[in-house]
Amino acid sequence: MFHGSIPALVTPFKNGELDLDTLKKLVDWHVDQGSNGLVPVGTTGESPTLSLREHEIVVEEVVKYAAGRIPVIAGAGANNTAEGVRLIKHAADVGADGALVVTPYYNKPTQRGLIAHFTAMHDAVDIPIIIYNIPPRSVVDMSPETMGELAKLPRIIGVKDATAKLERVALQRITCGRDFVQLSGEDATAIGYNAMGGTGCISVTANVAPKLSAEMQAACAAGDYKSALAYQDLLMPLHDAVFVEPGLCGVKFAMSELGLCSDEVRLPLQTVTDETKERLRAAMRHAGLLT
């Protein structure tokens, strides 16, 4: 069910409030552009600065707007297990196709704590769960062995891996099995990740270049890595430019250049500097997104 190019969807704002009209347009645009799924309210969706109710509203609206045309994997991460259970139950109740659950951040649980946290999330719902392993943000790294233990649970079906360690794919194929869904969480190495056994990418860049990202992933799935590399050559400057400052800030500016949404973000993040804007524009021209 979960494969290919899956944008980690931005949350558009207007004067500090959720811009649900623009959110609907973005969902329709991603369907038309060939994205293979959507992840609302992940880090790129500014989950750290949304209220719990805003988080729920965004998931509800994306599920409603997608209307079954592409899968919706709801962000349901928290460093508080009880809060995570609330979010994942809500996602299941409103019809999300799955949930993305990040390793609990800031409080640095042990591997045993990770197993307990994800088991509680698993036992709360009947929808598939994708583990989100991103040590640079959560300051905890789920080991392949721990992931293998969790993969024994029937609804823990995959991982979004943002470690940038390509060997993890091979190690997790051993501990979790070959059918375990392995999605890259790192745009710049997504082709290498697929070559190692991955099946797609939960992507930041795909917010602004969904068609190119989806075509690159389709080429990988077909084993046509020559074509995939041609797409990567187009996209690599954009991958790089988007993350000069926090990725969601970069990609929101790039989207604003295409008239898709405003570049408004919430504090403590800020819109990108003029220097970064010029770098993003140049990367968009390189990819053929701007003339």
What own/partner pairs with CB < 8 Å and gap ≥ 24 does 76-79 have?
A: 76/100, 76/101, 76/121, 77/42, 77/47, 77/101, 77/102, 77/104, 77/105, 77/132, 78/104, 79/104, 79/105, 79/106, 79/107
Helices and strands (H, E) in the chain, number of each type: 12, 9
Tell me how far apart the alpha carbons of residues 53 and 239 are, in angstroms, rounded to a whole number.
32
Q: Which of 14, 105, 106, 132 does the annotation list as catalytic?
A: 132
Tell me how far apart the alpha carbons of residues 284 and 150 are, in angstroms, rounded to a whole number.
40
Tell me how far apart the alpha carbons of residues 83 and 139 are, in angstroms, rounded to a whole number.
19
Give, for 170, the enclosing helix (H) or strand (E).
Answer: helix 167-176
* Contact (CB, 8 A) for 197 and 182: yes
Active-site annotation holds for 108: no
Q: Which residue type does 205 have? A: T
Measure CA 275 to chain center: 26
Write down the residue that tokens 């988007």 correspond to.
Answer: 242
* Contact (CB, 8 A) for 90 and 56: yes
Q: Which of 14, 65, 106, 160 does the annotation list as catalytic?
A: 160
Tell me how far apart the alpha carbons of residues 93 and 238 are, in angstroms, rounded to a whole number.
37
Q: Which residue type does 156 have? A: I
Using DSSP's 3-state secondary structure scheme, residue 77 falls into coil
* Contact (CB, 8 A) for 252 and 10: yes
Active-site annotation holds for 106: no
The residues annotated as belonging to the active site are 132, 160
